[in-house]
Amino acid sequence: MSEIRLNVITGDWVVIATERAKRPEDFTKKKEKRDLPPYVPTCPFCPGNEDKTPPETYVLKDAEGKWALRCVPNKFSAFSNELEIRKERFGLKQRLTGGGLHEVIIETPIHNTTTALLPLPHVENILVAYRERMLSFYKDKRIEHVIIFKNHGEGAGTSLEHPHSQIVGTPVFPGQVMNRLGEAIRNYYYVNFGDCLYCLVLKDELRDGIRIIGENESFAAFIPYAALSPFHIWIFPKRHSACFAFITDKEISDLAFLLRDVLFRLHKGLSNPDYNYVIRSLSPNGADAKYFHWYIAIIPKVTQIAGFEMGTGMFINTAMPEESAKFLREVPVEQDNKGNGLKF
């Protein structure tokens, strides 16, 4: 019999379709794999092609003085860095000029790798770049909200194979974010006791244990009780904070380890599926909000949204969250002797 579960963080009802449920391994990516070279002469993100991107805004270098990570403005930005914000209203119609910020974080010089396979210090570099660029974006008075995200694979919306993430600063506060904040502020536990719903969910998941994928001193990764889709994963910080930009260096090390570990388990267990991940966070000015808790959402693209979801706003999940978490926990992970690499 199917279950209908409430995702208390998003406010969504999710149909856990047990009668249509698949085994976790049935979500393994089945399309043909292509062997990519470590360098592609025509790729604008590969070393030697720096003139094909706008000048970098941020760079981290390796011990030899070569760049290990670069941030550059997106040549095809959704927003214009030059525009001032001007609002206009015509009755019910409203518009404003599309000023904002949009950058690409080129995560590594190597064309044919992925976050799951990078050395641990390099994943730390990526997270440091996220932190520094978020802080920089929020210094622009036009920016209302900053979003950091990664599209991995064609099915997740990426157009360039070279490993990269994106950071966007928008001049408006997105409706989806407003809805999440509304759920957090209106929930029973915050209204009556001042408790952060996210902290309570994290404690609940750690107590249950059956949906936990991994944890360390600073973070826990789990598939939520009412996951919106198969293998939908959340990584929550154990320290309450509403803003990712105030993550400490120790937390960056812990997050790098757990993020890479989770992505590796997806990479190996589901044969490198396409996925999106996003950092959900408030601004530095909202860092002390007691009702919100920043986190990372990872969404493997192993199913498609269809008419029912579009017509109702409800989700159908054909994978039991408990079984999906168990599957990922049991993926064998072998570290090198320094803990810097993962291998099959």
Whether the predicted pLDDT of 283 surpasses 50:
yes
pTM of the model: 0.92
Least confident range from 167-171, 246-250, 314-318: namely 314-318
Q: Is residue 76 part of a domain?
A: no
Listed ranges 14-23, 55-64, 94-103, 177-186; the one with the highest mean pLDDT: 55-64
Amino acid at 287: A
What is the average pLDDT across 65-70?
Answer: 96
Q: Which residues are catalytic?
A: 164
Domain count, the chain: 1
Q: Is residue 71 part of a domain?
A: no
CB 44 within 8 A of CB 27: no
Query: 285 pairs with which residues across the strands?
Result: none
Whether the predicted pLDDT of 98 surpasses 60:
yes
How many residues are listed for the chain in this entry? 344
CB 344 within 8 A of CB 335: no
Angle 123-275-25 (CA atoms, 0-180°, nearest 5)? Answer: 110
- Give the structural domain span for 269: 3-35+115-334
First-residue to last-residue Cα distance in the chain? 38
B/e letters for 92-109, b = 16+ CB within 10 Å, e = fewer, are eeeeeeebbbbbbbbbbb
Q: Is residue 87 part of a domain?
A: no
Q: Is residue 91 part of a domain?
A: no
CATH of the domain at 324: 3.30.428.10
DSSP string, 226-274: T-SSTT-EEEEESS--S-GGG--HHHHHHHHHHHHHHHHHHHHHTTS--
Least confident range from 84-93, 162-171, 225-234, 279-288: namely 84-93
Give residue-wise pLDDT tens across range 306-336.
788 888 878 899 899 999 999 999 999 876 5
Among the listed residues 143, 144, 140, 148, the one whose alpha carbon sits nearest the alpha carbon of residue 166? 148
Q: Is residue 246 part of a domain?
A: yes
Q: Is residue 202 part of a domain?
A: yes
At 159 the pLDDT is 84
